[in-house]
Amino acid sequence: MKLELNVNGEVRHADVRPAELLLDVLRENFGLTGAKPGCRNGDCGACTVTVDGWPMKSCLMLAVEAAGKAVQTVEGLGGTPEQTAFVEKFAFQCGYCTPGFIMNVHALRRIHPQADEAAVRDWLQSNICRCSGYEEIREAVECVLRSRPPADNEP
């Protein structure tokens, strides 16, 4: 079936099976391989993208469900504070989990700019990093949430 998707602010067309996952359409049809398969079962978070600004495991969403919504992948970010913080804090090793974490944190910053420790933990538990001990990721998230202009920081 023919599908029109809005990905990273661009209108994209694809001819897909109705059962196709968003993850596979992003990767196979659009070459957006920043979204990674790690389990295709919702367990690892490596495939996380945002849909209308909310983090979404793209292995748990059919491509057709994303029609009419704004999909963003790591390729569409282009130098956000999350990306800089992950580099500065050494928040990855093999980097395979990184796009998923970054998309999750990106959405977190938009939706819960004042997220406290418990909220951060809640959100980030949906992603697995097998290389790091999570400490550098925590530092990167903290740096992203805390580095906004001071006025925004007030409750």
DSSP assignment letter at 42: S
Label the pairing between strands 2-7 and 70-72.
parallel
Rounding to the nearest 10 degrees, give the CA dihedral for residues 92, 94, 95, 97. -90
Label the pairing between strands 2-7 and 48-51.
unpaired
- How many residues of this chain bind other proteins (CB under 8 A)? 54
Q: Does 40 bind ligand FES (CB under 6 A)?
A: yes
User: CA angle, corner 63, sides to 67 and 66, nearest 5?
Assistant: 30
Residues 46, 106 contacting (CB under 8 angstroms):
no
Site residues for ligand FES, 126-145, by CB under 6 A, read 129-132
Site residues for other proteins, 67-106, by CB under 8 A, read 73-75, 77-78, 82-83, 86-88, 90, 92-99, 102
Q: Which is nearer to ligand FES, 94 or 113 (CB)?
A: 94
Could you tell me which of 47, 56, 50, 52 has the C-alpha nearest to residue 23?
47
Going residue by residue from 15 to 54, which x/- string records binding to other proteins, judged by CB under 8 A? --x-x-------xx--xxxxxxxxxxx-xx-x--------
How crowded is the C-beta side of 39, counted as CA atoms within 13 Å? Answer: 15
Q: How far is the CB of 93 from ligand FES (least distance, A)?
A: 4
Partner from ligand FES, other proteins, none contacting 133, C-beta within 5 to 8 A by type: other proteins
Residues 21, 40 contacting (CB under 8 angstroms):
yes
Q: Does 13 bind other proteins (CB under 8 A)?
A: no
Give the residues lining the site for ligand FES (CB under 6 A). 37-40, 42-47, 57, 59, 92-97, 129-132
Give the residues lining the site for other proteins (CB under 8 A). 17, 19, 27-28, 31-41, 43-44, 46, 73-75, 77-78, 82-83, 86-88, 90, 92-99, 102, 120-121, 124-125, 127-138
